[in-house]
């Protein structure tokens, strides 16, 4: 269960699926060449822990494919997800010695890693990397603040609707479709992971999903395959301004 298989997969940055969104997005070709020298790929299986909170962090990296979660756990076992890491998202904090959160692979996961000190050195020499990392960090901070509103002030039903709309939106964005009208996607999270995301119990998550289904806000095939017949309706249930969400 805990055998950490780490395979090396050589690959060209120019062909990388996250080339234009990751921390390297602004790099010129000569900068990419230098990154290629220090990068290496690691694979993790669904359910595997990538990093334990408190461990020494000797690498940073980007999610290439798959999904990972960032979670905090209290001594008594209560856990709260504090980040949902999708392809192109950055893991780790330059300048910090040990990990502040658990990172767990939710699906099979491929990461593009850099040993920490060469990456930090590269950051000092390459403003493009630091610039992009700042931009990404500001985006994450905005997302975290949006999430704080969800956690602090929304009802269970609104929380579920919010999470579904976030997933629907990013799914549309990855597949280059518009996030309006009818949308279809697979939930990448278990009920328990959704509960940890939203500060609920898994039973409440299940009940609210059933309620949204009964009310026709969503349709389900199996447990994970979701159809949103009317995105505006879902956004309304989430308590958001239904401005359509003009984000990248």
Partner DNA sequence: CGTGATTTTGAAGTCTTTCAACACGCGTGG
Partner DNA sequence: CCACGCGTGTTGAAAGACTTCAAAATCACG
Binding site residues, a copy of itself, CB under 8 A: 70, 72, 74-76, 78-80, 82-83, 93, 95, 100-101, 127, 130-131, 133-135, 137-138, 140-142, 144-149, 151-153, 198-199, 239, 241
When CB distances are held under 5 to 8 angstroms depending on the partner's kind, the choice from DNA, a copy of itself, none that residue 87 binds is none
Closest CA to 135 of 19, 22, 14: 22
User: Element (H or E) spanning 34, and its range?
Assistant: helix 29-38
Q: Report the alpha-carbon distance of residue 11 to residue 89 in Å, rounded.
A: 18
Q: Report the alpha-carbon distance of residue 197 to residue 185 in Å, rounded.
A: 18
Write down the number of H helices and E strands in the chain.
Answer: 7, 11
> Shortest gap between Cβ of 221 and a copy of itself (angstroms)?
30
Helix extents (H) in 116-243: 116-125, 127-153, 156-174, 191-198, 202-214, 231-237
| The one among 88, 114, 191, 237 contacting DNA by CB under 7 A | 191
> How many other CB atoms sit within 10 Å of the CB of residue 16?
19
When CB distances are held under 5 to 8 angstroms depending on the partner's kind, the choice from DNA, a copy of itself, none that residue 207 binds is DNA
141-180 footprint of DNA as x/- string (CB under 7 A) = --------------xxx-----------------------
- Residues 213 to 242 in contact with DNA, rule: CB under 7 A: 220, 222-224
Nearer to DNA, 168 or 205 (CB): 205
Chain residues in the site for DNA (CB under 7 A)? 155-157, 190-192, 199-207, 209-210, 220, 222-224
């Amino acid at each position: 269960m805990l055998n950490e298989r780490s395979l090396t997969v050589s690959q060209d940055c120019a062909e990388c699926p996250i080339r234009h969104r990751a921390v390297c997005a602004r790099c010129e070709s000569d900068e990419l060449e230098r990154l290629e020298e220090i990068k290496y790929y690691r694979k993790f299986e669904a359910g595997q822990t990538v990093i334990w909170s408190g461990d020494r962090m000797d690498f940073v990296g980007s999610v290439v494919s798959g999904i990972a979660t960032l979670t905090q756990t209290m001594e008594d076992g209560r856990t709260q997800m504090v980040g949902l890491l999708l392809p192109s998202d950055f893991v780790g904090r330059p300048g910090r010695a040990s990990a502040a959160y658990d990172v767990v692979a939710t699906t099979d996961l491929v990461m593009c890693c850099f040993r920490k000190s060469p990456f930090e050195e590269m950051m000092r020499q390459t403003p493009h990397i630091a610039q992009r990392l700042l931009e990404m960090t500001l985006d994450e901070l905005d997302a975290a603040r949006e999430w704080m509103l969800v956690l602090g002030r929304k009802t269970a039903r609104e929380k579920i609707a919010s999470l579904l709309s976030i997933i629907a939106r990013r799914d549309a964005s990855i597949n280059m479709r518009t996030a309006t009208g009818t949308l279809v996607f697979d939930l990448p999270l278990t009920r328990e992971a959704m509960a940890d995301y939203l500060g609920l119990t898994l039973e409440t998550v299940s009940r609210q999903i059933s309620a949204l289904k009964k009310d026709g806000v969503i349709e389900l095939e199996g447990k994970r395959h979701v159809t949103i017949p009317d995105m505006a309706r879902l956004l309304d249930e989430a308590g958001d301004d239904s401005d359509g969400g003009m984000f990248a």
